[in-house]
Chain A
Amino acid sequence: MSQLFQEAIIISILASTIRIMTPLLFSAMGELITQRAGIWNMGVEGTMLTGAFAAYLVATATGSLWLAVLAAVVAGALMGIVIAFMTATLRVDHFIAGLGLNLLAGGLTLYWFQSYIQGRPQPIFSGFQDVAIPLLSDIPVIGPVLFSQRALTYVALLVVPVVWFLLYRSRYGLELRCLGENPKALDVKGLSVSARQYAAVMLGSAMTGLGGGFLMLGFSDRFLADFTAGRGWIVIVALIAGNWRPKGVLVAVTAFAFLESLATHLQVVGAQVPHQLLLALPYLASIGLLMGLRFRSGQPARLGIPYARE
């Protein structure tokens, strides 16, 4: 293989790592906010799927990609209301609430999709294109990897420090983390636990929905059944692997995206490995990771435990 070809492959692997990573990053940061507030939302997959579908619907109906982004955010927030209602108001077991949401989302999106196309060939849209940042994108290697990406990719990378600041430097973040560690400590200060949980879950789910929407608008032109293909579960793994910290989650998501990108490229290069195995690589890595992980010091103490005063 020529030197040039090797370099091109490496750049391509890295660039696609970033591409794969960013939708996940929105969803993972959203789920981080949700879980830090004590709600173990298992409905990431369903929320992403709904976000993706809402984006598809609005993109094909109106032709406006930014309206489609808004639709994904709103759809996510609505899913958040459902989760918050079940966990904070009805105090249903968090896992059951989330799993129910996934089933609901899978069924509803398909149903809506069918009634939208009504047997006709499905409409397609043309999604976001790369936005090369002048000057920066001309830097060798780094330029094509980091500065020649979709617009939302830049936003996603900014979301990490923003979430970090929200969690650790703002008073809302302190209250939000308190919800996950010991909601009673807020309750005895006279603050409403459930109002704050609603707010956190809605914000978190809106970001999760945005992740699904970006997946649709950035990397596809049509809707398919089970469009998110297990990415929601990867987000949950990333949260555990990242020990519930923004930086850790960023690293975990990057590692997952890198493996997936590597797997795709190895196929293209024609490595002598069954391609099913390559595709399964990131998922196998996640399973291995979860089995090996005992380090859960960052897990919020009251994560997944419904709060009741009496």
Chain B
Amino acid sequence: MSTALRVEGLTKRFAGVTANDDVDFDLRRGEIHCLFGENGAGKSTLSSCIFGFYRPDKGEILLHDQPVHIASPMDAIRHGIGMVHQHFVLVPEFTVLENIIVGTQRSGWRLNAAEARQKLKGICDGYGIDLDLDAYVWELPVGRQQWVEILKVLYLDAQILILDEPTAVLTPGESRVLFDIVRKMCARGMSIILITHKLVEVMQSDRVTVLRKGKVVATLDRPETTPDELARLMVGRDVFFTVTKPELAPGETILAVEGLSARGFWGDAVLKDVSFSVARHQILGIAGVAGNGQKELFEVLCGVRRPAAGSIIFKGEEVAGMSPRAMMDRGVGHIPDDRFREGLVPEFSVAENVVLGWQRNPKYCKGPLMDRDAITGLAREMIGEYQIATRDEHVAAGKLSGGNAQKIIIAREFLHASGLVLANQPTRGLDVGVIEYVQTQLLKKRAEGFAIVLASEELSDLFNLADLIAVMFKGEIMGIVDPRTVTVAEVGVMMAGRRGETAASKKRVSA
């Protein structure tokens, strides 16, 4: 097989960080080549350099064994390289068609949509992609927006396609369709660079290049490797994929939610008739693609958003509509999904963040003044206990890595919570090592007798930790299932909007 693209000795530095360090990489014609590595390993940076979006500090790129100079995405496009970025680069206010043609027309004043439409029809038919070209992108579900991104690239006649974590926003079913289409592309002679940090996806490729801390660790033929070996290469040590969860009998109910509804900014229903309960020693997992009401649910539960209807009983007391401060005082801990925007004040120091929200507590203040010594003492204690990697407690929290930032939030919330912890996507974007740590911490709280509500897009998190899994879709609960009796695929189908049986109702039938 001939080489479509080769990268030699590519180095890219950002202020202080070497994102790619002397990387060698080659892509054969017609193959799916996985770039595999943890968050921050440098996968996106490498692909952005190939696409001409970033300018490498050193190194060469060869196409069909000819050195080429790719100074901008324009050059890359001219050479038939297309890239689907990790985060959507779409204009929600434009239609699908407008998103695809914007910036591609080279002559004439008037928009020439007819010709574009013709060409796109051909592409869609060829690959079996079914997409309304005149729909506005904001109308499309996230999963379908990914097709717009892919059509943008196909429209420009790409021969080499870079897909940067394309399945992050897809349900398992949608991911399967994506892989089918990617296979079709290969069959037509296109070459694919697929970036992922999910093992199941790596195992569907032809070859794998593992990146760790900006360096290539290995390039392997996929049939000759195993998930265990890849995981070890990715992290640089052995990892255990399942933390052990002891069987614990649930105690009394801590949180009972009944018929909860809430409205969004535009008055749209973002939560519809949500009901569930969590008991002592129990973790309730919330599964679902992000943006299906998880965030709103957590906001209502911790008092940030007013419910439109329904009741929330916490330890026997009706708390619906109470202020966040009242909820904190009652012992609700909250780990929000956006660490640096909602969980922390990035400009504040580690110490200030550890005490954030509790500065009124007499333990940490002297009248109207903050008690510096008490706060510093607390921060040092937390840095030790939660193994927060920081020079000292005065460093701005925003300077810390995602994992260490998360540890600050966990430390603060765990310190004050009594009875209930709400954790929204607590492992999102973290390294495997830290994920393991967060999982262990949550299980520790469960053993202590806490009730925990845990939302995660990673089904592995939920199957490892949860006692029950509630699946959310468009603000509704599609069913509450028992992870011991349900498969990942079944949960995947519910995530896409199919109603499932609830474990509770099953029990009632058998009783």
Contacts and interface: CB of A to CB of B under 8 A. Distances in A.
Interface in A155-184: 169-172, 174-175, 177-178, 181-182, 184
Contacts of B98: 174
B77 A171 contact: no
Interface stretch (B106-114, B321-329, B397-405, B420-428): B106-114
Contacts of A185: 89-91, 99, 102-103
Contact of B83 (A174, A177, A188): A188
A171 B109 contact: yes
B91 A178 contact: yes
Interface string B63-88: 00000000011111110000101000
B85 A189 contact: no
Nearest to A187: B73
Interface in B163-185: none
A189 B90 contact: no
Given A188-B73, A188-B83, A181 B111 contact: no
Interface in A247-295: none
Contacts of A177: 91, 93-94
Contacts of A181: 91-94
A177 B78 CA distance: 25
Given A178-B91, A188-B83, A309 B105 contact: no
A89 to B, nearest CB: 17
B283 to A, nearest CB: 37
A174 B111 contact: yes
Contacts of B110: 169-171
Contacts of A190: 52, 72-78, 103
A32 to B, nearest CB: 15
B485 interface: no
A19 B281 CA distance: 75
A229 interface: no
Interface residues of B, number: 33
Contacts of A175: 102-103
Nearest to B75: A190
A185 B89 CA distance: 5
A169 B103 CA distance: 14
Nearest to A184: B89
Contacts of A186: 102-103
B111 A169 contact: yes
B162 to A, nearest CB: 11
A178 B93 CA distance: 9
A310 B102 contact: no
B348 interface: no
B154 to A, nearest CB: 14
List 3 A-B pairs, minimum CB-CB distance, nearest first: A190-B74, A189-B103, A190-B73
17 contacts: A171-B108, A171-B110, A174-B94, A174-B98, A177-B94, A178-B103, A181-B92, A185-B89, A186-B102, A186-B103, A187-B53, A188-B51, A188-B85, A189-B156, A190-B74, A190-B77, A309-B54
